[in-house]
Structure 1
Amino acid sequence: MKILSPRVHGYLDYLVVALLFLAPTLFGFGGIAASICYVLAPIQLVMSLLTAYPLGVAKVIPFPVHGGIELVTSIGLLAAPWLFGFSALDNARNFFIVAAVGLGLVWATTNYVSARTTTTNRIGIGL
């Protein structure tokens, strides 16, 4: 069921940026897990600013592409503790698992078609 509108998805995206920046401090982990968070946060910020949805600024990245990137990212977040060797660190591992599941749920419940319709109607061009 696609219950999240593009606008709500956008708010969640910017919330995720803040959470990624703060997670190492809030949940007490460092090392490679913290570095991954610090790399992903600005990437998520730039992607959100460039996405063609209500909270995007430049509207360069189609919203469904944005969603595809987030799906791949959720899989990467789930695998990261084992790929990067921090699976024994409970706080970091658990944060990455919860973040992966959360991002996957956002992907699964977002209405990506709605953004195309909204964007097309607003600029008056039918694709």
Structure 2
Amino acid sequence: MKPISLTLHGAIDYLAVLIFVAAPAVIGLSGWPAVLSYALAGIHLLMTLLTDFPAGAIKLVPVALHNWVERIVGPVLIILAFLPLNGATQNARIFFGIMGVVILAVERLTAYRSITEAK
């Protein structure tokens, strides 16, 4: 049994939004890493609000799509942390690497089937 319920997953998603919004000021992201962090905050917020799960407000996005987006975004952020990109400070690399690991871990540890079984 996976330990993260969809309700907890939603709370973690909203926390991730706050972290992405705060990161540029807190750890000094600037340039494209700051823009990416703000963009990820917006995308993550929109996806969470629109997902058909307890934390979703509008419930248009199937949970399965939310799951697949996280399966893609997590590894992409981890890879991004290791690419030699201009403007990516060590803080940016560490931040995106950690967020990628967290997103992937939450995705892997969430009991996604619980909502489909309840319907």
Identity of aligned residues (%): 34
Offset at residue 115 of structure 1 (A): 1.8
Offset at residue 63 of structure 1 (A): 1.1
Offset at residue 117 of structure 1 (A): 2.5
Contact 1:29 1:92 in 2 (8 A): yes
- 2:15 match: 15
Please give the alpha-carbon distance, in whole angstroms, between the structure 2 residues aligned to 1:83 and 1:35.
18
Larger of the two Rg values belongs to structure: 1
User: Is 1:109 the counterpart of 2:90 in the alignment?
Assistant: no
Please give the alpha-carbon distance, in whole angstroms, between the structure 2 residues aligned to 1:5 and 1:52.
14
Spell out structure 1 runs of 4+ moving beyond 6 A.
none
Change in CA separation of 1:83 and 1:52 when aligned onto 2, cut-off 3 Å: farther
Change in CA separation of 1:31 and 1:58 when aligned onto 2, cut-off 3 Å: same
Unaligned regions of 5+ residues in structure 2, if any? none
Please give the alpha-carbon distance, in whole angstroms, between the structure 1 residues aligned to 2:52 and 2:84.
32
- 2:38 match: 38
Pairing of 1:52-91 with structure 2 (within 5 A): 52-81=52-81, 82=83, 84-87=85-88, 89-91=89-91
Contact 1:32 1:84 in 2 (8 A): no
Please give the alpha-carbon distance, in whole angstroms, between the structure 1 residues aligned to 2:113 and 2:84.
34
Offset at residue 31 of structure 1 (A): 1.0
